[in-house]
Amino acid sequence: MYQTVKPKNDSVQSDCGVCPIKRRAVCAYCEAQDLVELEKIKSYKTYAPGEMIIWTGDDMRFVGSIVSGVASLSQTMEDGRRQMVGLLLPSDFVGRPGRAKAVFDVEAATEVTICRFDRKPFEQLLVKLPHLSGRMLEMSLDELDAAREWMLVLGRKNAREKIASLLSIIARREGELHKKPLRDGAEFDIKLTREAMADYLGLTLETVSRQINALKKDGVISLQGKRHVKICDCVRLMMETGNDDDGGMVI
Amino acid sequence: MYQTVKPKNDSVQSDCGVCPIKRRAVCAYCEAQDLVELEKIKSYKTYAPGEMIIWTGDDMRFVGSIVSGVASLSQTMEDGRRQMVGLLLPSDFVGRPGRAKAVFDVEAATEVTICRFDRKPFEQLLVKLPHLSGRMLEMSLDELDAAREWMLVLGRKNAREKIASLLSIIARREGELHKKPLRDGAEFDIKLTREAMADYLGLTLETVSRQINALKKDGVISLQGKRHVKICDCVRLMMETGNDDDGGMVI
DNA sequence: CGATATGTTGAACATTCTCAAGGGATGTGG
DNA sequence: CCACATCCCTTGAGAATGTTCAACATATCG
């Protein structure tokens, strides 16, 4: 478990014109007049690392977009077993229009800033603004594909393949962000603890630790500290994922 | 693997007015004039049990709704490992608007009839008909929740819990169909082979067989033949799933 | 400095898989 | 009609993978 940190309530002000995620978020297709409507119901909030953004069962007063940082979407069983079901990165959508109660926990893995929209009026805008609902549908379908890809990882891959899959996904997304293709020597920070990685992969944290160090020992990756990874052999990493094609990952 | 059966090409004619899935399918919110548009691009096709409806990599010339029967959505790795990522029942949607190539296999588990729409014109209707795109979004979000629920099953449940989860989902859906609540003595057919169940649960077929017979031996269920299940102890079955609440399943 | 969170490593153990054999049920061709 | 093949399912025994429990290392923070 993570430590729980007191929420910061500092409201940030920002302008859609300089928003870092404006080309990929739910509002990406909105035009100036649409944005005016959205701005009326918009507020920003920043969460500290480890802070719970939403608890399962909470009333969902807002939905929104991750502006910066990394959050996790997860489910917990009575006895404490936990499964992460989504990794929320900048531009990803939080919350479910049409649902009043949260069915998943959302937790800030790093410091996270969210552009929040009041849920009820947002739902009305979904009906009113085709640009908004169109992008919403597109994003939902992409997430659905990503979830299904991940089901293969959870159901059929062994521990080593799971770790390789996670690393390749993080590396790929990092690459997208910096517009660099994935290549030997690519470096990035894993913004997750071993435990969070285990929760994503359906493993124990001990197994995660062992397999990461095995990949290091085999020269597929190298580590600086615990969280900073360099991909030594990119093709090898893709082979280790067990995937036939290396372009098929949807996340 | 299933035997492959020659496709039947009998086109069925049907009228939306008497369609068994009209209240839940993607067209559920459409009005008379919307349906006229849809009928122009509509055709029915029936597939034999075991027949492949779509292969990964196929050009997607159509999307559509399952009218009757059960189909599976799955992914296969090079070495033959397979993971089912969706169980398609009547009213479920097949295909992904906006995507030209299939990324999953779709296979008929029983005889399946699909109401198909030509993909390109359907995409145009999505833009034109808010009732259509609204329902599409709603269904996509429901499927996404279901996929995420299933990730917990795949990642964190043991074999016995997985079997109990599958049985409770099938029983629940069967109940919805006949408008009966799930109760002791409820009966239904599992329309999947042990192998298909294994592919859904991320297990081997031997483990599936053993766990089903263990649940039978423990008096949770009873069997008539291999596929017909009676739930002897409904509360016990829910406990065996490992779920805290028994109403939270989204599928 | 102690307290806490995070990460590593080892050894015993449990669960599930793999491989193998065999048992109905169904369908087909001789 | 019978022999045979095929599909689906069951059961057993040994092997493999990952978990559990425990100890310890390191870094950060008040």
Closest C-alpha to A233, from A186, A188, A200, A190: A186
**Encoded tokens for B199:** 């592919």
Instruction: Write a three-state SS string for A229-245.
Output: EEECCHHHHHHHCCCCC
pLDDT digits (tens, 9 = 90+) for A191-203: 999 999 999 999 9
Q: How far is CA A36 from the centre of its chain?
A: 27
Q: What gap in Å lies between CA B104 and CA B1, rounded to an integer?
A: 16
Chain A residue with minimal CA distance to B242?
A: A77
- Within B99-185, strands assigned E span 105-108, 112-118
Q: What gap in Å lies between CA A36 and CA A32, rounded to an integer?
A: 6
From first CA to last CA, the distance across chain A in angstroms is: 25
**Which residues make beta-bridge pairs with A83?**
A75
Angstrom CA distances, A164 to A154, A158, A169, stand at 13, 10, 9
Q: Any atom of strand C under 7 A from CB of A3?
A: yes
Predicted confidence band of residue A13 (pLDDT cuts 50, 70, 90) = low
Closest C-alpha to A168, from A54, A74, A250: A250
Quote the Cα angle for B92-B98-B100, to 5°: 95
- Chain A residues in contact with B152 by the CB 8 A cut-off are 75, 77, 83, 85
* pLDDT of amino acid A15: 87
Provide mean pLDDT across the span B203-229: 97
Contact A126, A133 (CB under 8 A): yes
Task: Measure CB to CB from residue A150 to each of B73, B81, B151 and give the nearest one.
Answer: B151
Q: What gap in Å lies between CA A222 and CA A167, rounded to an integer?
A: 12
Q: Any atom of strand D under 7 A from CB of B189?
A: no
Angstrom CA distances, A123 to A39, A133, A138, stand at 14, 9, 16
* pLDDT of amino acid A5: 41
Residue B5 has pLDDT above 50, yes or no: no
Give the number of other CB atoms < 10 A from CB of residue A210: 15
Largest CA distance in chain B: 56
Between the CA of A211 and the C1' of D1, what is the distance in angstroms? 61
Residue B182 has pLDDT above 90, yes or no: no
Strand A187-189 and strand A228-231: pairing? antiparallel
Residue A180 has pLDDT above 70, yes or no: yes
List alpha helices for chain A, DSSP H. 32-40, 119-128, 130-156, 159-178, 194-201, 205-217, 234-240
Give the number of other CB atoms < 10 A from CB of residue A4: 11
Contact A166, A200 (CB under 8 A): yes
Contact B223, B163 (CB under 8 A): no
Residue A12 has pLDDT above 70, yes or no: no
Residue B70 has pLDDT above 50, yes or no: yes
* pLDDT of amino acid B35: 96
Cβ within 8 Å of residue A248, ≥6 positions away: A149, B103
- Chain A residues in contact with B150 by the CB 8 A cut-off are 151
Give the number of other CB atoms < 10 A from CB of residue B95: 22
**Encoded tokens for B242:** 């490992």
Residues 203-222 of B with CB under 7 A from strand C: 203-204, 206-207
Q: How many residues does chain A have?
A: 251
* Greater pLDDT, B180 or B131: B131
Contact A163, A211 (CB under 8 A): yes
Strand B187-189 and strand A93-94: pairing? unpaired
pLDDT digits (tens, 9 = 90+) for B150-176: 999 999 999 999 999 999 999 998 877
Residue A124 has pLDDT above 80, yes or no: yes
Residue B246 has pLDDT above 70, yes or no: no
**Alpha-carbon gap: B46 to the closest alpha carbon of chain A (Å):** 26
* pLDDT of amino acid B33: 95
Between the CA of B207 and the C1' of D8, what is the distance in angstroms? 15
pLDDT digits (tens, 9 = 90+) for B87-118: 999 999 999 999 999 999 999 999 999 999 99
Contact B248, B172 (CB under 8 A): no
Q: Any atom of strand D under 7 A from CB of B11?
A: no
* pLDDT of amino acid A249: 46
Q: How many residues does chain B have?
A: 251
Q: Do A140 and B138 touch (CB under 8 A)?
A: no
pLDDT digits (tens, 9 = 90+) for B7-50: 444 456 678 999 999 999 999 999 999 999 999 999 999 999 99
- Chain B residues in contact with A57 by the CB 8 A cut-off are none
A63, amino acid identity: V
Contact A37, A129 (CB under 8 A): yes
Contact B131, B30 (CB under 8 A): yes
* Greater pLDDT, A176 or B191: B191
> SS3 of A250, please?
coil
Predicted confidence band of residue A4 (pLDDT cuts 50, 70, 90) = very low
Task: Measure CB to CB from residue B148 to each of A78, A82, A104 and give the nearest one.
Answer: A104
Residue A151 has pLDDT above 70, yes or no: yes
Q: What gap in Å lies between CA B194 and CA B223, rounded to an integer?
A: 14
Strand B228-231 and strand A52-54: pairing? unpaired
